[in-house]
Structure 1
Amino acid sequence: MAAPDEFVGRRDELRVLTEEFDRARSGRARIVWLTGEAGIGKTSVLHRFRDRAGAGTVLWVAGDEAEAGLPYGLLHQLLADLPAGAGRPRAPAADADPVDVGAELLQVLGALQAAGPVLIVVDDAQWADELSVRALVFVVRRLRRDQVLLVAGVRAEDTPSPAWGRVLAQEPLLRRLTLTGLDPEEIAALSLALGGPDLSPAAALRLREHTEGHPMHVRALVEELPPADLLDLSVTLPAPRSFGALVLVRVAGLSRPAQEVVLAAAVLGVRAALSDVTALARVPDPLAALDEAAAAGMLQEVPTGVRPDVVFRHPLIRAAVYADLSPERRHTLHGAAARILGGAAAFEHRIAAAVGPDPALAAELRELGEAERAGRRWRDSAAHLLAAADLSPGPRDRSARLVGALESTLAGGDLAAALRLEPEVRAAGPSPGRSRVLGRVAALTGRIALAREEFLAAVERGDPRDPGRSAAAAHLALVSLIEGDADGAVASAEEALAGHGAPDVLSTARFVLVVALAAQGRQDRARALLDTGRSGAAEPVEATAVRGILVLWAGDADMAARLLSAAVDDGALRLPMQGRLLALGYLAEAHYRTGAWQEATVEAELAISLARDAGVVMGSGVVRAIAAYVAAGRGDREAARAHADAAAATAQALPWWGGRAYAALAAATLAQADQDHGAMLEALRPCADPALSRLLDNVGALGWRILRTEALLGLGRAEEADAALAELEGRVATRGPGWPVLETARLRGCREELRPDRAAAERAYREGLASADGVGAALSRARLEVALGRLLLAGPERRPALDLLRTAHDRLARLGAAPFLTECDELLRAAGLHPPSPGDALGLTTQELAVARSVAAGRTNRETGAALFITGRTVAFHLSNIYAKLGLSSRRELAARLHELDA
């Protein structure tokens, strides 16, 4: 078994190196000066680049501090690395002239280029010997139209040989590249590659800030710490053991006053006011002590307006010093810091100084935590309620505060932290509140039977006047809906709405009630409930999202896209994580149906990332299935299979009927793109379960019936296809225009062609196209046009057929629907025409297109960032790329260009 690849990230740096090598490949010799501090990963980047560059010849040499004075030591390595038959020159003598040596090397490089471009890597170039550098400089200064790239890796903290200065003066040939720390996503990937835990975004960000992204330090902590400590944001991270040992040796070498200043600064944090540090250190001459600590590389003074701050030169230095404090000294210093700071700033120090129960402080922390929960500051609330629980003297108070901490953790969407807290809450005394929050954790992680048990206990034991009882009833309703018990879901949701629930609880109950009514087949009552706002407390954005889901199931993808876009754009941050995930997922499906496939891809990927980051199971299978639709439609079979398999795995883990249905649809859609009708029918087998098909039919979802009918027709099973088509047509007849109408018309035409009844088939196709006006259903319409075009090609007049096929080709090319484009291409070629080459009308990435459409709709950078879950700075970065690619200079021009494209 191959060892796992521990190289992560560095996409930008590898891209720059590849760009420079491509320039060298085209006959423009280049130099890259790669700098970075020790251990930052320069050598790893160079190895990865070398392995992927595709050079004809690679010459790799490395400087060594012990050989920096060895004449031509580096050149000896390079010459030894030359391939056999390259006219290898003799190793230069110690007294050889660097010009002569360089001239000979230049000839060798010229010969090597016959086999392709040459890559020369000089790692640890700061330790290259003087004579070797002078010879290389001679070569570099004479490279012109050569296929040579020289990459020098240099430690930023060391001074390279002065001879390199002439290389750095070759600005037309030179590109400087600085390697910095890994970003949080790369750190999360590195943790997995090292066999560590799957870090949440918050945990990865904390590790990034703690180590400044230094790969060597990240690796050390991942290997040294238990996974729970890396995941738990309340745990103080230490310094890596080897780094910490070096720091402590330095501290030991300081005078006593300087040590006291460093210890005081460590207790106050990575950065603290100089006045606070000196007050806590209590040394006679604090400035002299600070100077000594600064000279030792521990601290630095940073001016900040009227008062200076004391800052550790690296967060890990502070971590090492703090971890070495004895418990007694640490508690004493925190207690003193609390007295110096006072007020709210003293809270964390009071907590750290506490020893044993402290009823007064626990009560203050409970009050603070509840105020933070009311202000939606979930993480702070959870941390302070947990601290209150630890300091509580009695089990009853401790249990109530643990429950509150878990509630805040769940509200903040940090399911990983909630799971770590679950055992402690489960060990607390029984109460309705405890059952309610444990039920929520179980539901979110797919343990539906346990969730039902906990919610039932919370409802049965709860006080009818307690808002918590309504919350338990609302979540019990959701569990019933997941299990397919629409009647039970309606009863529990109505019980929740009749209680004294908070607005978010009433919104959940209202959502479940509307969907459960639809699942019962009571669509009119579901719509009436949305229109009247029966609970009077539902957030408008949530009502809009539910309405969008219902009309999507009914087949009106245009209206669904408008409603769900409004919900996502205007209220994404106000929706709970579960609602945010589902709104994004169903919006992706609506855009898939209308033909906005790039938007669908962005939304599905965003929903998938949110589900992963939050650890949410419920709904993640749906968005994976929808991502599979787009990937299959574009012919990306590998991605479609991965998404479909993930949807199927989630459906097995979570007994939700919707997840089962979407997993089946994803597999069937992939088989449809492969034109494998047998696999389509097999994939749809779960939908033949009467319990599932009844629920799907009740909510109006016809996708499975459409795919099943197409599979039966493709297999030639005429009698079954007739029955399935008749059932489908009966259901479509009761609804307005939408993509199911177009699909049903195409299937009817296919059936008539099989009889064969050419006139009936043409009539069915034309009726379908007549109903397509004003309906956003790009793929369904294009497939209708291809079907009718194919039929008409066999007739006396070819012009209408060719017009239809050209139109369909443009539509499919714009979608990038490769599997369906193939049939259209073949028909055009059979008619003697050359199909036009598909192309991207804008040349934008999916993320750039999402930003472009949002900005063109009139949103600010900040509003766009909130809608797409990126920062305003990232929006500005994408916008500058968009303007450059499209040759535009204003938002108005961008809106006009997109309008032209959509017209």
Structure 2
Amino acid sequence: DPDAALAHRAALATGPDPGLATEYRRRADDHVRAGRWGAAGDALLTAARLTDDPDRRLEWTTSGIDALIGAGRISEAGALTRGLDRVRPDPHRDSVLALLALHRGHATEADTLLGLAARTTPTRPDDRVDLARKMVVHALCGWRPDEIARWTSEVVDAAGTGSTSPAAAEARAVAMLGSAISAPGAPGPPPPPVDPADPVAQRFEMAAGWIALAGDDLETARVRLEAAIPTTEVTGSARISLWSQAWLARTLLLRGEWDDALRVVDTAARRIDELELDLLAPVVHWTGAVIRAMRGDRLGAATHTRHLTTRPDAYPVQILPSAMARMQVAAANGEHSGARRAAEPILALATRLDVDQPGFWPWHELYAHALVLDGRTAGAEELITPVERRAREIGHRSTLARLGAVRARILNARGDVEGAERLFRDSLDHLEGLGMPFHSARVHLARGQALRRSGRRREAHLALGAARDLYEQLGATVYVDRCDRERRAGGVDVARTVGPVGLTPQERAVADLVAAGRTNAQTAEALFLSVKTVQYHLTRIYARLGLRGRTELALYVERTAGAD
């Protein structure tokens, strides 16, 4: 075992040993070629300790820290940076510190350090390639596909067209993603032939899985992402594994395999905490927050939301899932005004970045739905129209389904009931065969709410029943209750005369929510009614029952619970 042999000799060293330092440096190269990033970092740091050349010590220490970051050992790498010389200009040091800031989620700091490295005269032949490799990752996290293409070309050109070096391989994997972001649905560059046993294959599997997820191919996404997850103590990259787990959890959520999704989320979340890899916390906790909120686990959802960030110096790949998670948690809690507020960081991003690629960040439906409930149908239509156009051009079915359901709500709010019904059916047709019960349930619920509001109670009852069945399979108890409440309010299979407690089904639904502490606006949102309609119902309820306010109504509802 060459590593064990070197370790014994290093343990015997009582001072500098240039010869042994050189052997360690060569061994580090072997580890890099084999993708053993952690072992490479350990070897470089030992070489730095054994050398008597101060310039080599700085170079090897910096390279060792770089390798530890590549392995995902962020907290360990961060502790070691305190010993770096910060006085002399050094582009290699600055680019490594930038990579550390990147994985900690500090976009502004990373951008400043990368800019400093780019302006400094390189001191090593590989400095320019090293900087370009880090720029590729920086561009991906910054959601700038044009920059991904620019820096990928620089890495590949410098390394050679046929190079199989880890730097060139990672750049090509990110280039696949950049092409998919720039032109969703278009055939991107095929991945180069890579031996599945080759450590760089992990990067291509992750990229291919993410692209398949964005393209609605959930089965391929699951297979490719699962293949990218395994690592050992010495091979593979923990950060690539965590990227894969984040997108696998999202894939499982859409497939309706929520228990498995939560297991992936909880495993990845623990690893992120151990490594202090803050960059990936939002995309992992996004899925956990959504599932636990929809299952009525408010405490569990809050645990996930504590790891979300929309601070100004965060990367878009942190801000987008964080804002979407908060939007979906607010919607699950019936707080659609909260969903609108949660979208503000995305709206700010959208003024300077293209975040409308179908399949990648599906935020438009959430925000547009909240706008419709607020009566702002024109704003909702303006938001979804360009995204619908892009989805139609590439045939992105899940986007067409989700936004079609929003447009159907808009038509229904404007009184075009038949047009709305036609769009709801089109949306369900788009989802046919995709294996996305999560999206199907949302469309059925939206359709049922719209039909009930239009007075078509029997059809609404059936649509809400379909939504309820799907939500029940997912364990989404919050939405099961919502479907039940909508069906009771519709009054189908319930006597249409005033019941033994003196209220019609619709009035009883209003009374239950108000008695539970909901405001008129929140009650209106939950029942897909206008605030004026809720006020009208409350006036009739108080007059009919001789009640003098919400407190007496709450006591009345508690006393008569189950009577109807």
TM bracket (short chain) = 0.7 to 0.9
Native 8 Å contact 2:176 2:191 kept in 1: no
Native 8 Å contact 2:98 2:114 kept in 1: yes
Shift of 1:627: 1.8
Native 8 Å contact 2:51 2:57 kept in 1: yes
Shift of 1:824: 1.7
Find the counterpart in structure 1 of residue 347 from structure 2: 688
Partners of 1:695 and 1:551 lie apart in 2 by: 20
Residue 602, structure 1, aligned to residue 260, structure 2: no
What TM-score, normalized to structure 1? Answer: 0.48
One-letter identity of the residue aligned with 2:99: R
1:730 to 382, 385, 389: 389
Shift of 1:813: 0.6
Partners of 2:38 and 2:396 lie apart in 1 by: 47
Native 8 Å contact 1:530 1:547 kept in 2: no
Partners of 1:478 and 1:569 lie apart in 2 by: 21
Residue 403, structure 1, aligned to residue 62, structure 2: yes
Shift of 1:437: 3.1
Partners of 2:4 and 2:436 lie apart in 1 by: 58
Native 8 Å contact 2:330 2:338 kept in 1: yes
Native 8 Å contact 1:446 1:653 kept in 2: no
Q: Over the residues paired in the alignment, what is the CA RMSD in angstroms?
A: 3.6
Residue 670, structure 1, aligned to residue 332, structure 2: no
2:220 to 536, 543, 562: 562
Find the counterpart in structure 2 of residue 81 from structure 1: none
Shift of 1:713: 0.9
Residue 362, structure 1, aligned to residue 21, structure 2: yes
Q: Per the alignment, do residues 695 and 349 of structure 1 end up closer, same or farther by CA in structure 2, a change over 3 Å counting?
A: same
Secondary structure of the structure 2 residue equivalent to 1:646: coil
Partners of 1:540 and 1:772 lie apart in 2 by: 32
Q: Deviations over 1:531-550 (max 9, x none)?
A: 6789xx99555334323323
Shift of 1:816: 1.1
Partners of 1:562 and 1:737 lie apart in 2 by: 16
Partners of 1:791 and 1:699 lie apart in 2 by: 25
Give unpaired runs (5+ residues) of structure 1. 1-341, 834-903
Partners of 1:467 and 1:744 lie apart in 2 by: 48
Secondary structure of the structure 1 residue equivalent to 2:306: helix
1:479 to 118, 127, 138: 138
Give unpaired runs (5+ residues) of structure 2. 495-564
Native 8 Å contact 1:641 1:670 kept in 2: no
Find the counterpart in structure 2 of residue 582 from structure 1: 243
Q: Equivalent pairs: percent with the same residue?
A: 23
Q: Tell me which of the two structures has the higher relative contact order, counting C-alpha pairs closer than 8 angstroms and 6 or more residues apart.
A: 2
Native 8 Å contact 1:403 1:434 kept in 2: yes
Partners of 1:605 and 1:729 lie apart in 2 by: 34
Q: Deviations over 1:562-619 (max 9, x none)?
A: 2243232366336533322222111211222232222221222222222222221222
One-letter identity of the residue aligned with 2:171: A
Q: Per the alignment, do residues 627 and 532 of structure 1 end up closer, same or farther by CA in structure 2, a change over 3 Å counting?
A: same
Q: Per the alignment, do residues 399 and 417 of structure 1 end up closer, same or farther by CA in structure 2, a change over 3 Å counting?
A: same
Partners of 2:172 and 2:289 lie apart in 1 by: 30
Find the counterpart in structure 2 of residue 509 from structure 1: 171
1:619 to 241, 262, 280: 280
Native 8 Å contact 2:214 2:360 kept in 1: yes
Find the counterpart in structure 1 of residue 535 from structure 2: none
Q: Deviations over 1:813-839 (max 9, x none)?
A: 111112211122124444337xxxxxx
Partners of 1:831 and 1:547 lie apart in 2 by: 48
Partners of 1:715 and 1:431 lie apart in 2 by: 55
Find the counterpart in structure 2 of residue 490 from structure 1: 149
Residue 442, structure 1, aligned to residue 101, structure 2: yes
Find the counterpart in structure 1 of residue 440 from structure 2: 781
Partners of 1:491 and 1:473 lie apart in 2 by: 9
Superposed, 1:154-303 pairs within 5 Å as none
Q: Deviations over 1:221-253 (max 9, x none)?
A: xxxxxxxxxxxxxxxxxxxxxxxxxxxxxxxxx
Native 8 Å contact 1:463 1:469 kept in 2: no
Partners of 1:658 and 1:545 lie apart in 2 by: 16
1:758 to 389, 393, 417: 417
Native 8 Å contact 1:506 1:538 kept in 2: no
Partners of 1:772 and 1:533 lie apart in 2 by: 34
Q: Per the alignment, do residues 392 and 664 of structure 1 end up closer, same or farther by CA in structure 2, a change over 3 Å counting?
A: same
Find the counterpart in structure 2 of residue 87 from structure 1: none
Shift of 1:490: 2.4
Equivalences, count: 483
Native 8 Å contact 2:105 2:315 kept in 1: no
Q: Deviations over 1:455-488 (max 9, x none)?
A: 4565664489x45532321112222343455433
Partners of 2:4 and 2:236 lie apart in 1 by: 32
Structure number having the greater helix percentage: 2
Q: Deviations over 1:663-687 (max 9, x none)?
A: 1111111111122221111111122
Q: Per the alignment, do residues 779 and 374 of structure 1 end up closer, same or farther by CA in structure 2, a change over 3 Å counting?
A: closer
1:633 to 294, 304, 320: 294
Secondary structure of the structure 2 residue equivalent to 1:426: coil
One-letter identity of the residue aligned with 2:281: S
Q: Per the alignment, do residues 360 and 632 of structure 1 end up closer, same or farther by CA in structure 2, a change over 3 Å counting?
A: same
Structure number having the greater strand percentage: 1
Residue 592, structure 1, aligned to residue 250, structure 2: no
Partners of 1:344 and 1:610 lie apart in 2 by: 27
Q: Per the alignment, do residues 658 and 411 of structure 1 end up closer, same or farther by CA in structure 2, a change over 3 Å counting?
A: closer
Superposed, 1:452-463 pairs within 5 Å as 452=111, 454-455=113-114, 461-462=121-122
Q: Deviations over 1:481-503 (max 9, x none)?
A: 43455433322221011111653
Q: Deviations over 1:820-876 (max 9, x none)?
A: 11122124444337xxxxxxxxxxxxxxxxxxxxxxxxxxxxxxxxxxxxxxxxxxx
Find the counterpart in structure 1 of residue 189 from structure 2: 529
One-letter identity of the residue aligned with 2:267: L
Q: Deviations over 1:424-445 (max 9, x none)?
A: 2336976554444333223222
One-letter identity of the residue aligned with 2:409: C
1:772 to 431, 452, 468: 431
One-letter identity of the residue aligned with 1:597: W
